[in-house]
Structure 1
Amino acid sequence: MRHLKAHRKLGRTSEHRHSMLRNLATSLINARDERIQTSLPKAKEMRPFIEKAITLARQAQNLQEGSEARALHLRRQAAGYFHAGNTSASALTGKRGVVRAERTAGVAALKRLFGELGVRYKDRPGGYTRILKLGNRVGDNAEVAIIELVDNPRELEAQEAGKKRAAKTAGTKKKAGSKKSKGKAEEAEETAADE
Protein backbone atom coordinates (compact mmCIF):
# COMPACT_ATOMS: atom_id res chain seq x y z
CA MET A 1 0.00 0.00 0.00
CA ARG A 2 1.15 3.54 -0.72
CA HIS A 3 -0.17 5.11 2.45
CA LEU A 4 1.75 8.23 3.53
CA LYS A 5 3.72 8.34 0.28
CA ALA A 6 3.52 12.03 -0.40
CA HIS A 7 5.07 12.51 -3.84
CA ARG A 8 4.64 11.12 -7.34
CA LYS A 9 7.40 8.96 -8.79
CA LEU A 10 6.78 10.12 -12.38
CA GLY A 11 8.44 6.97 -13.72
CA ARG A 12 11.92 8.13 -12.73
CA THR A 13 14.57 7.39 -10.16
CA SER A 14 14.82 9.82 -7.27
CA GLU A 15 17.94 11.49 -8.71
CA HIS A 16 16.35 11.87 -12.14
CA ARG A 17 13.13 13.19 -10.61
CA HIS A 18 14.93 15.76 -8.47
CA SER A 19 17.01 16.89 -11.45
CA MET A 20 13.87 17.23 -13.56
CA LEU A 21 12.17 19.36 -10.89
CA ARG A 22 15.25 21.58 -10.69
CA ASN A 23 15.19 21.98 -14.49
CA LEU A 24 11.49 22.86 -14.45
CA ALA A 25 11.98 25.34 -11.60
CA THR A 26 14.89 26.99 -13.43
CA SER A 27 12.82 27.21 -16.61
CA LEU A 28 9.82 28.72 -14.80
CA ILE A 29 11.83 31.41 -13.03
CA ASN A 30 13.81 32.30 -16.17
CA ALA A 31 10.81 32.22 -18.51
CA ARG A 32 10.09 35.58 -20.10
CA ASP A 33 6.35 35.41 -19.42
CA GLU A 34 6.79 33.41 -16.18
CA ARG A 35 4.90 30.33 -17.38
CA ILE A 36 5.84 26.95 -18.79
CA GLN A 37 3.86 24.12 -20.36
CA THR A 38 4.33 20.59 -19.05
CA SER A 39 2.32 17.50 -18.18
CA LEU A 40 -0.22 17.84 -15.38
CA PRO A 41 1.46 15.39 -12.94
CA LYS A 42 4.79 17.19 -13.38
CA ALA A 43 3.12 20.55 -12.79
CA LYS A 44 1.40 19.27 -9.65
CA GLU A 45 4.66 17.85 -8.35
CA MET A 46 6.57 21.01 -9.19
CA ARG A 47 4.17 23.37 -7.41
CA PRO A 48 5.29 22.69 -3.79
CA PHE A 49 8.91 22.43 -4.97
CA ILE A 50 9.03 25.94 -6.47
CA GLU A 51 6.87 27.48 -3.75
CA LYS A 52 9.41 26.46 -1.12
CA ALA A 53 12.14 28.26 -3.07
CA ILE A 54 10.00 31.39 -3.42
CA THR A 55 9.24 31.26 0.31
CA LEU A 56 12.98 31.33 1.03
CA ALA A 57 13.33 34.46 -1.11
CA ARG A 58 10.34 36.04 0.64
CA GLN A 59 11.85 35.29 4.05
CA ALA A 60 15.10 36.93 2.95
CA GLN A 61 13.16 40.07 1.97
CA ASN A 62 11.41 40.21 5.35
CA LEU A 63 14.62 40.00 7.41
CA GLN A 64 15.64 42.79 9.76
CA GLU A 65 18.64 45.01 9.08
CA GLY A 66 21.96 43.50 10.13
CA SER A 67 21.05 39.88 9.40
CA GLU A 68 23.18 39.44 6.29
CA ALA A 69 24.37 36.02 7.47
CA ARG A 70 20.79 34.73 7.61
CA ALA A 71 20.06 36.19 4.15
CA LEU A 72 23.14 34.46 2.75
CA HIS A 73 22.05 31.20 4.38
CA LEU A 74 18.59 31.49 2.79
CA ARG A 75 20.17 32.22 -0.60
CA ARG A 76 22.40 29.15 -0.33
CA GLN A 77 19.43 27.01 0.65
CA ALA A 78 17.46 28.27 -2.36
CA ALA A 79 20.41 27.51 -4.66
CA GLY A 80 19.63 23.82 -4.13
CA TYR A 81 16.37 24.27 -6.03
CA PHE A 82 18.16 25.25 -9.26
CA HIS A 83 20.95 23.82 -11.36
CA ALA A 84 24.20 25.63 -10.66
CA GLY A 85 26.29 27.26 -13.35
CA ASN A 86 29.64 25.85 -14.41
CA THR A 87 32.30 26.33 -11.80
CA SER A 88 35.43 25.63 -13.83
CA ALA A 89 36.68 26.68 -17.23
CA SER A 90 37.48 23.07 -18.14
CA ALA A 91 33.76 22.31 -18.04
CA LEU A 92 33.25 24.79 -20.88
CA THR A 93 35.24 22.82 -23.43
CA GLY A 94 33.29 20.16 -25.25
CA LYS A 95 34.36 17.44 -27.65
CA ARG A 96 37.44 18.20 -29.73
CA GLY A 97 38.17 21.35 -27.71
CA VAL A 98 35.09 23.26 -28.90
CA VAL A 99 34.15 25.97 -26.43
CA ARG A 100 30.53 25.70 -25.29
CA ALA A 101 28.29 28.39 -23.90
CA GLU A 102 28.47 28.78 -20.15
CA ARG A 103 25.56 27.30 -18.21
CA THR A 104 24.26 30.12 -16.10
CA ALA A 105 20.50 29.49 -16.05
CA GLY A 106 20.55 28.50 -12.37
CA VAL A 107 22.58 31.54 -11.41
CA ALA A 108 20.22 33.83 -13.33
CA ALA A 109 17.21 32.14 -11.74
CA LEU A 110 18.63 32.65 -8.27
CA LYS A 111 19.33 36.34 -8.96
CA ARG A 112 15.83 36.86 -10.31
CA LEU A 113 14.28 34.93 -7.43
CA PHE A 114 15.93 37.06 -4.75
CA GLY A 115 15.93 40.32 -6.71
CA GLU A 116 12.49 40.48 -8.32
CA LEU A 117 10.24 37.69 -7.06
CA GLY A 118 11.14 38.02 -3.38
CA VAL A 119 10.10 41.67 -3.51
CA ARG A 120 6.91 40.90 -5.46
CA TYR A 121 5.74 38.23 -3.02
CA LYS A 122 7.01 39.93 0.14
CA ASP A 123 3.53 40.28 1.65
CA ARG A 124 1.99 37.15 0.11
CA PRO A 125 1.90 34.20 2.54
CA GLY A 126 1.89 31.46 -0.13
CA GLY A 127 0.11 30.47 -3.30
CA TYR A 128 2.68 31.86 -5.72
CA THR A 129 1.79 29.57 -8.63
CA ARG A 130 -1.28 28.70 -10.67
CA ILE A 131 -1.92 25.56 -12.74
CA LEU A 132 -4.13 25.85 -15.83
CA LYS A 133 -5.27 22.62 -17.48
CA LEU A 134 -5.04 22.56 -21.29
CA GLY A 135 -6.57 19.19 -22.11
CA ASN A 136 -4.82 16.18 -23.59
CA ARG A 137 -1.76 16.12 -25.84
CA VAL A 138 -2.30 14.80 -29.37
CA GLY A 139 0.65 12.40 -29.51
CA ASP A 140 0.27 10.39 -26.30
CA ASN A 141 -3.02 11.69 -24.84
CA ALA A 142 -1.22 12.94 -21.72
CA GLU A 143 -2.88 15.70 -19.72
CA VAL A 144 -1.07 18.98 -20.38
CA ALA A 145 -1.05 22.02 -18.12
CA ILE A 146 0.52 25.44 -17.81
CA ILE A 147 2.12 26.35 -14.51
CA GLU A 148 2.65 30.07 -14.03
CA LEU A 149 3.56 32.55 -11.35
CA VAL A 150 0.66 34.66 -10.10
CA ASP A 151 0.79 38.47 -10.27
CA ASN A 152 3.13 38.31 -13.25
CA PRO A 153 3.59 41.47 -15.39
CA ARG A 154 1.42 40.11 -18.22
CA GLU A 155 -1.44 39.49 -15.80
CA LEU A 156 -1.08 42.92 -14.16
CA GLU A 157 -1.12 44.65 -17.58
CA ALA A 158 -4.34 42.82 -18.46
CA GLN A 159 -5.92 43.93 -15.17
CA GLU A 160 -4.93 47.56 -15.78
CA ALA A 161 -6.28 47.41 -19.33
CA GLY A 162 -9.54 45.98 -17.98
CA LYS A 163 -9.81 48.78 -15.42
CA LYS A 164 -9.19 51.40 -18.11
CA ARG A 165 -11.77 49.76 -20.35
CA ALA A 166 -14.31 49.67 -17.50
CA ALA A 167 -13.66 53.31 -16.64
CA LYS A 168 -14.01 54.29 -20.29
CA THR A 169 -17.34 52.46 -20.69
CA ALA A 170 -18.59 53.89 -17.38
CA GLY A 171 -17.65 57.38 -18.60
CA THR A 172 -19.57 56.95 -21.85
CA LYS A 173 -22.61 55.62 -19.95
CA LYS A 174 -22.57 58.68 -17.67
CA LYS A 175 -22.40 60.98 -20.67
CA ALA A 176 -25.27 59.16 -22.35
CA GLY A 177 -27.27 59.26 -19.11
CA SER A 178 -26.70 63.00 -18.72
CA LYS A 179 -27.96 63.60 -22.28
CA LYS A 180 -31.13 61.67 -21.49
CA SER A 181 -31.67 63.63 -18.29
CA LYS A 182 -31.15 66.89 -20.17
CA GLY A 183 -33.76 65.79 -22.65
CA LYS A 184 -36.26 65.05 -19.86
CA ALA A 185 -35.55 68.38 -18.19
CA GLU A 186 -36.11 70.22 -21.45
CA GLU A 187 -39.37 68.30 -21.94
CA ALA A 188 -40.49 69.28 -18.44
CA GLU A 189 -39.70 72.95 -19.16
CA GLU A 190 -41.64 72.77 -22.41
CA THR A 191 -44.69 71.25 -20.71
CA ALA A 192 -44.49 73.88 -17.95
CA ALA A 193 -44.30 76.66 -20.55
CA ASP A 194 -47.30 75.21 -22.42
CA GLU A 195 -49.44 75.27 -19.29
Structure 2
Amino acid sequence: MRHRKSGRKLNMEAAHRKAVLHNMARSLVQYELVQTTDAKAKELRRIADRLITLGKKDTVHARRQARAVLQDPALVGKVFDDLAKREAVASRAGGYSRLVKVGNRKGDNAPITRISWVGSNLENTEALRYPAHIRDLIEAEDVEEETAEA
Protein backbone atom coordinates (compact mmCIF):
# COMPACT_ATOMS: atom_id res chain seq x y z
CA MET A 1 0.00 0.00 0.00
CA ARG A 2 1.15 3.52 -0.82
CA HIS A 3 -0.48 5.34 2.06
CA ARG A 4 1.12 8.75 2.74
CA LYS A 5 3.69 8.29 -0.04
CA SER A 6 4.02 11.40 -2.17
CA GLY A 7 5.46 11.78 -5.65
CA ARG A 8 5.56 9.63 -8.74
CA LYS A 9 8.17 6.93 -9.29
CA LEU A 10 8.33 7.62 -13.06
CA ASN A 11 9.65 4.06 -13.58
CA MET A 12 13.15 5.09 -12.39
CA GLU A 13 15.45 4.49 -9.47
CA ALA A 14 15.50 7.30 -6.91
CA ALA A 15 18.89 8.70 -7.95
CA HIS A 16 17.95 8.69 -11.64
CA ARG A 17 14.60 10.36 -10.89
CA LYS A 18 16.31 13.06 -8.83
CA ALA A 19 18.88 13.71 -11.56
CA VAL A 20 16.23 13.91 -14.29
CA LEU A 21 14.05 16.32 -12.33
CA HIS A 22 16.97 18.55 -11.30
CA ASN A 23 18.19 18.67 -14.92
CA MET A 24 14.70 19.62 -16.07
CA ALA A 25 14.53 22.29 -13.35
CA ARG A 26 17.82 23.73 -14.65
CA SER A 27 16.40 23.80 -18.18
CA LEU A 28 13.18 25.42 -16.97
CA VAL A 29 15.08 28.19 -15.21
CA GLN A 30 17.43 28.72 -18.14
CA TYR A 31 14.97 28.53 -21.05
CA GLU A 32 11.75 29.30 -19.12
CA LEU A 33 9.91 26.61 -21.08
CA VAL A 34 10.24 22.82 -21.13
CA GLN A 35 8.22 20.27 -23.08
CA THR A 36 8.05 16.80 -21.56
CA THR A 37 5.67 14.00 -20.66
CA ASP A 38 2.66 14.73 -18.50
CA ALA A 39 3.85 12.86 -15.39
CA LYS A 40 7.34 14.39 -15.47
CA ALA A 41 5.87 17.88 -15.89
CA LYS A 42 3.63 17.41 -12.88
CA GLU A 43 6.60 16.31 -10.77
CA LEU A 44 8.76 19.15 -12.11
CA ARG A 45 6.08 21.63 -11.07
CA ARG A 46 6.68 20.69 -7.41
CA ILE A 47 10.41 21.45 -7.67
CA ALA A 48 9.94 24.61 -9.76
CA ASP A 49 7.41 26.16 -7.41
CA ARG A 50 9.70 25.45 -4.45
CA LEU A 51 12.55 27.25 -6.24
CA ILE A 52 10.42 30.37 -6.72
CA THR A 53 9.31 30.23 -3.08
CA LEU A 54 12.98 30.13 -2.07
CA GLY A 55 13.64 33.05 -4.44
CA LYS A 56 10.95 35.12 -2.76
CA LYS A 57 12.56 34.50 0.66
CA ASP A 58 15.97 35.70 -0.61
CA THR A 59 18.12 34.58 2.31
CA VAL A 60 21.55 33.01 2.25
CA HIS A 61 20.09 29.69 3.36
CA ALA A 62 17.46 29.83 0.62
CA ARG A 63 20.20 30.50 -1.96
CA ARG A 64 22.13 27.48 -0.72
CA GLN A 65 19.04 25.28 -0.93
CA ALA A 66 18.42 26.46 -4.51
CA ARG A 67 22.07 25.85 -5.35
CA ALA A 68 21.66 22.24 -4.17
CA VAL A 69 19.00 21.76 -6.86
CA LEU A 70 20.35 23.92 -9.70
CA GLN A 71 24.11 23.35 -9.26
CA ASP A 72 24.84 26.63 -11.10
CA PRO A 73 25.34 30.02 -9.42
CA ALA A 74 24.21 31.89 -12.53
CA LEU A 75 20.87 30.06 -12.55
CA VAL A 76 20.45 30.63 -8.81
CA GLY A 77 21.01 34.32 -9.43
CA LYS A 78 18.40 34.27 -12.19
CA VAL A 79 15.83 32.69 -9.87
CA PHE A 80 16.46 35.15 -7.05
CA ASP A 81 17.10 38.34 -9.04
CA ASP A 82 14.80 37.91 -12.04
CA LEU A 83 12.14 35.19 -11.83
CA ALA A 84 11.04 35.70 -8.22
CA LYS A 85 10.81 39.47 -8.69
CA ARG A 86 8.61 39.41 -11.81
CA GLU A 87 5.24 41.03 -11.28
CA ALA A 88 3.25 38.00 -12.47
CA VAL A 89 5.11 35.80 -9.97
CA ALA A 90 5.69 38.13 -7.01
CA SER A 91 1.98 38.91 -6.63
CA ARG A 92 1.03 35.22 -6.28
CA ALA A 93 0.98 33.05 -3.19
CA GLY A 94 1.76 29.90 -5.17
CA GLY A 95 1.26 28.24 -8.52
CA TYR A 96 4.18 29.91 -10.29
CA SER A 97 4.37 27.42 -13.16
CA ARG A 98 1.85 26.70 -15.88
CA LEU A 99 1.15 23.32 -17.49
CA VAL A 100 -0.29 23.31 -21.01
CA LYS A 101 -1.20 20.01 -22.63
CA VAL A 102 0.29 19.93 -26.14
CA GLY A 103 -0.91 16.59 -27.45
CA ASN A 104 0.54 13.11 -27.76
CA ARG A 105 4.04 12.10 -28.81
CA LYS A 106 4.23 10.55 -32.25
CA GLY A 107 6.30 7.48 -31.34
CA ASP A 108 4.56 6.05 -28.28
CA ASN A 109 1.46 8.26 -27.98
CA ALA A 110 2.58 9.53 -24.56
CA PRO A 111 0.78 12.71 -23.44
CA ILE A 112 3.09 15.72 -23.82
CA THR A 113 2.86 18.84 -21.66
CA ARG A 114 4.62 22.20 -21.91
CA ILE A 115 5.63 23.68 -18.55
CA SER A 116 6.56 27.35 -18.27
CA TRP A 117 6.55 30.17 -15.74
CA VAL A 118 3.42 32.24 -15.34
CA GLY A 119 3.80 35.31 -17.53
CA SER A 120 6.12 33.72 -20.09
CA ASN A 121 5.06 32.37 -23.48
CA LEU A 122 6.64 31.06 -26.66
CA GLU A 123 7.26 34.53 -28.10
CA ASN A 124 9.08 36.10 -25.16
CA THR A 125 11.25 33.01 -24.52
CA GLU A 126 12.51 32.69 -28.10
CA ALA A 127 15.69 34.65 -27.34
CA LEU A 128 16.47 32.23 -24.49
CA ARG A 129 15.78 29.06 -26.46
CA TYR A 130 17.70 29.87 -29.65
CA PRO A 131 21.22 31.29 -30.06
CA ALA A 132 21.55 34.52 -32.06
CA HIS A 133 22.86 32.84 -35.22
CA ILE A 134 19.86 30.47 -35.30
CA ARG A 135 17.42 33.36 -34.80
CA ASP A 136 19.09 35.16 -37.73
CA LEU A 137 18.53 32.10 -39.94
CA ILE A 138 14.88 31.90 -38.88
CA GLU A 139 14.36 35.60 -39.62
CA ALA A 140 16.10 35.25 -43.01
CA GLU A 141 13.76 32.36 -43.91
CA ASP A 142 10.75 34.44 -42.86
CA VAL A 143 11.90 37.34 -45.07
CA GLU A 144 12.40 34.97 -48.02
CA GLU A 145 8.90 33.54 -47.55
CA GLU A 146 7.37 37.02 -47.40
CA THR A 147 9.15 38.12 -50.59
CA ALA A 148 8.07 34.91 -52.35
CA GLU A 149 4.45 35.53 -51.38
CA ALA A 150 4.51 39.13 -52.62
Q: Same fold (TM over 0.5)?
A: yes
SS at match of 1:11: coil
Deviations along 1:79-124, whole A, 9 cap, x unmatched? Answer: 1221x2xxxxxxxxxxxxxxxxxxxxx3321111011012113332
> Is 1:2 aligned with 2:2?
yes
User: Corresponding residue for 1:21?
Assistant: 21
Alpha-carbon distance between aligned partners in 2 of 1:55 and 1:38, rounded to the nearest angstrom: 23
Larger radius of gyration: 1
User: Corresponding residue for 2:52?
Assistant: 54
Counterpart of 1:18, as a letter, is K
Q: Does structure 2 retain, via aligned residues, the 8 Å contact 1:51–1:127?
A: yes
User: Corresponding residue for 2:11?
Assistant: 11
Alpha-carbon distance between aligned partners in 1 of 2:66 and 2:120, rounded to the nearest angstrom: 21
Counterpart of 2:43, as a letter, is E
Alpha-carbon distance between aligned partners in 1 of 2:42 and 2:122, rounded to the nearest angstrom: 23
User: Corresponding residue for 1:112?
Assistant: 78
Report the CA distance between 1:152 and its aligned residue.
2.2
Report the CA distance between 1:42 and its aligned residue.
0.1
Overall identity of the aligned pairs, in %: 41
SS at match of 1:6: coil
User: Corresponding residue for 2:105?
Assistant: 137
User: Corresponding residue for 2:63?
Assistant: 75
Alpha-carbon distance between aligned partners in 2 of 1:154 and 1:24, rounded to the nearest angstrom: 18
Q: Which of 34, 38, 41 matches 2:39? A: 41
User: Scaled by the length of structure 1, what TM-score is found?
Assistant: 0.59
Q: Report the aligned-residue RMSD.
A: 1.7
Q: Report how many residues are paired.
A: 122
Alpha-carbon distance between aligned partners in 2 of 1:9 and 1:47, rounded to the nearest angstrom: 15
User: Scaled by the length of structure 2, what TM-score is found?
Assistant: 0.75
Q: Which of 114, 117, 122 matches 1:146? A: 114
Report the CA distance between 1:133 and its aligned residue.
0.7
SS at match of 2:109: coil
Q: Does structure 2 retain, via aligned residues, the 8 Å contact 1:131–1:145?
A: yes
Alpha-carbon distance between aligned partners in 1 of 2:4 and 2:104, rounded to the nearest angstrom: 29
